C-alpha cells in the first residue's frame, strides 16, 4: 500500500518538488515556490488522488482503499532563520490536527 501511495504522490507532484518517506507510514514533500494557498490546493488534490486509489489484495473484496491526512508547514517570509526542520515541525503539528479533526483532510500551521 505504501508503494502505491508513494507512486501516486510522486506522479502528481511537479519535477521541482521533492518527496520522501518520513517515519513508518508518513511522507514529507516540499513544494517549491508556491504560496500557502496554492500549497493547500495542491495538497488537497493529492489527498483526493490517494483517496481514489484501489489496491487489490489477494482475495479481499472490494479492493483496499486508504485516505491521507496532510499537514502543511507554511512560511510567509516572517522569519529569516526559518529552517527545513521548523517547516517539518509545523507540518507535523498540522498533521496531528488533521488526524484529530476527522482524518482525510488538509491542515496548515504557520500561515
Active site residues: 25
Domain coverage including residue 99 = 2-109
* CA gap 33, 48 in Å, rounded: 22
- Give me the half-sphere count of Cα atoms (radius 13 Å) on the Cβ side of residue 54: 5
Q: What is the CATH number of the domain that holds 66?
A: 3.30.70.270
What is the count of structural domains for the chain? 1
Local confidence band at 25 (pLDDT 50, 70, 90 cut-offs): confident
Q: Could you give the count of Cα atoms lying within 13 Å of 65 in the half-sphere of its Cβ?
A: 11
Q: Give pLDDT tens digits for 27-67.
A: 999 998 898 999 999 999 999 999 999 877 777 778 788 89
In whole angstroms, what is the distance from residue 87 CA to residue 110 CA?
9
Q: What is the pLDDT averaged over residues 16-22?
A: 92
Residue pLDDT, tens place only, 81-109: 788 888 899 999 999 999 999 999 999 99
- pLDDT, residue 102, reads 92
Asked if residue 111 has pLDDT above 80, the reply is: no
Amino acid at each position: 500500500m505504501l508503494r502505491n501511495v508513494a507512486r501516486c504522490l510522486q506522479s502528481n507532484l511537479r519535477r521541482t518538488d521533492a518527496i520522501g518517506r518520513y517515519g513508518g507510514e508518513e511522507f514529507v514533500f516540499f513544494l517549491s515556490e508556491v504560496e500557502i494557498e496554492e500549497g493547500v490546493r495542491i495538497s488537497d488534490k493529492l489527498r483526493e488522488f490517494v483517496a481514489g486509489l484501489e489496491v487489490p489484495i489477494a482475495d479481499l473484496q472490494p479492493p483496499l482503499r486508504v485516505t491521507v491526512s496532510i499537514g502543511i508547514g507554511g512560511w510567509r517570509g516572517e522569519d529569516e532563520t526559518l529552517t527545513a526542520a521548523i517547516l517539518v515541525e509545523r507540518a507535523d503539528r498540522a498533521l496531528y490536527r488533521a488526524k484529530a479533526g476527522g482524518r482525510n483532510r488538509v491542515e496548515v500551521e504557520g500561515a
